[in-house]
Amino acid sequence: MPKKKIALVGGGQIGGVLALICAQKELGDVVIVDIPEVEGIVQGKALDIMEARPHDGYDADLSGTSDFSGIKGADVVAITAGVPRKPGMTREDLLDTNLKIISNVAKNVKKYAPDAFVIVVSNPLDAIVYAFYEVSGFPKNRVVGMAGALDNARFRTFIAMETGLSVQDVSCIVMGGHGPTMVPITRTATVGGVPLTDILSQKEIDAIVKRVQEAGTELVKLYGKGSAFFSPAAAITEMIEAYLRDKKRVIPSAAYCEGEYGIDGYFIGVPAVIGAGGVEKILEVDLADQEKELLQSTLEKVKVTVSETGL
Ligand code: APR
């Protein structure tokens, strides 16, 4: 079987780590595209990772370029092109800059990789993925935003840290927009099948929820410059693998809703089935009344940011 081609648009902090993990997992050959100003850097990252391959023996080829035609025929395109947050900034503060960038990227992806499964990562995520969808005209099943996979991993991490139990056994869902209004669903969270509500007190669970909602900001403060990059790269890889290996994984993702949860015409975090058909299905959880209200208020936030795109 010919190797798959994975195009990473944006070879910064996330893009570099993503290239490494994709290569290590032998998901396919990787091409990193960035702007001419950093061409040497992305070529360097590609070559550096090529030279790391002999240690573990993975046969993925990597390259870096500023020429968009390099993504030609890609099976997957992961977009991290844009600017990250600095301390004190919200994700929405990035809209103007990242909107211009995504519009240009969308046109190029349409031109060179019209059959790809596209994962958008740039923030403010729910609006930027919407902009990609609008500008590219791609079908809804082949455009998805990566946020829920990361938010969910954070939720699982904090549950494991608080309970002292294996992160492997934690299962939960985070829904809604990628920001402080996101909705970690505590009612259905389990550790090894045991309800979280039987393991931790409500006060402890509430503290976890708050930390999940602010987890991105916690890292922006710690780094002082830039935002999280290891965990987003791992989350994107999970989605790429689900698609390329047709795994039918259930991954919270910013998927385009057409009636699911009463939401119509917006990308927002919902449990999505990801397989060879891209976003194959959105699973509908029977939400409690309070959860429905929280989902509605996070949707209102997303609507405001989307309206600011003018699309
Ligand atoms: N085409 C390709 N690459 C671009 C373009 C463009 N038009 N414009 C900017 N880039 C590149 C930058 O040159 C940089 O290398 O995107 C890269 C972004 O990398 P970082 O600044 O290191 O940001 P990173 O931490 O990787 O985050 C990227 O993901 O999580 C979000 O909020 C975050 O929007 C940010 C994005």
Residue 68 contacts by C-beta under 8 Å, 6 or more apart in sequence?
Answer: 33, 108, 111, 112
Take atom 20 of ligand 1 and give the residue whose Cα is closest.
12
Residue range 52-104, pLDDT digits in tens: 999 999 999 999 999 999 999 999 999 999 999 999 999 999 999 999 999 99
Q: Where residue 91 sits, what CATH number does that domain have?
A: 3.40.50.720
**Domain check: are 168 and 136 in the same one?**
no
Number of structural domains, the chain? 2
Say if residue 30 is in the same domain as residue 125: yes
61 and 201 both lie in a single domain: no
Q: Token pair for residue 202?
A: 């409500």
The CATH number covering residue 267 comes to 3.90.110.10
Determine what percent of the chain is predicted with pLDDT higher than 90: 99
One domain for residues 154 and 282: yes
Claim to verify: residue 183 and residue 73 sit in the same structural domain: no
Ligand 1 site residues, Cβ closer than 6 angstroms: 9-15, 33-35, 38, 80-85, 94, 98, 101, 104-105, 121-123, 226-227, 229, 232
Per-residue confidence band for 283, with pLDDT thresholds at 50, 70 and 90:
very high
Whether the per-residue pLDDT at 132 is higher than 90: the answer is yes
- pLDDT tens for each residue of 193-247: 999 999 999 999 999 999 999 999 999 999 999 999 999 999 999 999 999 999 9
pLDDT at 1: 79
- Res 104: pLDDT: 97
Average pLDDT over residues 124-130: 97
What pLDDT sits at residue 114? 98
Given this model, what pLDDT does residue 44 score? 98
Q: How far is the CA of 86 from the centre of ligand 1 (A)?
A: 13
In this structure, the answer to whether residues 31 and 90 fall within a common structural domain is yes
Report how far residue 306's alpha carbon sits from residue 288's, in angstroms, rounded to the nearest whole number.
27
Q: Looking at residue 46, what is its pLDDT?
A: 98
160 and 237 part of one domain:
yes
Q: At 39, is the pLDDT very low, low, confident or very high (cuts 50, 70, 90)?
A: confident
The predicted model gives 11-20 an average pLDDT of 98
Ligand 1: centre distance to CA 300 (Å): 27
Please enumerate in sequence order all residues whose Cβ is within 8 A of that of 113, keeping only pairs 6 or more positions apart, or say none: 7, 71, 72, 73, 74, 77
Tell me the mean pLDDT in the region 32-40: 95
Boundary of a domain, candidates 114, 145, 176 = 145
Range 15-21 average pLDDT:
98
Domain span at 115 = 5-145
My answer on whether 69 and 200 are in the same domain is no
Whether 127 and 171 map to the same domain: the answer is no
Provide the mean pLDDT of the chain: 97
Per-residue confidence (pLDDT) for residue 235, from 0 to 100: 98
Same domain as 259, residue 158: yes
Q: Answer with the one of 127, 145, 163 that is the final residue of a domain.
A: 145
Domain shared by 97 and 13, yes or no: yes
Q: Is 296 found in the same domain as 218?
A: yes
Share of the chain above pLDDT 70, in %: 100
Averaged pLDDT, 157-171: 98
- For ligand 1, the distance from its centroid to the CA atom of residue 15, given in whole angstroms, is 8
Give the per-residue SS3 of the chain.
CCCCEEEEECCCHHHHHHHHHHHHCCCCEEEEECCHHHHHHHHHHHHHHHCCHHHHCCCCCEEEECCHHHHCCCCEEEECCCCCCCCCCCHHHHHHHHHHHHHHHHHHHHHHCCCCEEEECCCCHHHHHHHHHHHHCCCHHHEEECCHHHHHHHHHHHHHHHHCCCHHHEEEEEEECCCCCCEEEEEEEEECCEEHHHCCCHHHHHHHHHHHHCHHHHHHHHHCCCCCCHHHHHHHHHHHHHHHCCCCEEEEEEEEEECHHHCEEEEEEEEEEEECCEEEEECCCCCCHHHHHHHHHHHHHHHHHHHHCCC
Picking from 145, 162, 183, the residue at the C-terminal end of a domain is 145
Enzyme catalytic residues = 178
- Quote the CA–CA distance of 172 and 188 in Å, as a whole number: 6
The per-residue pLDDT for 2 is 86
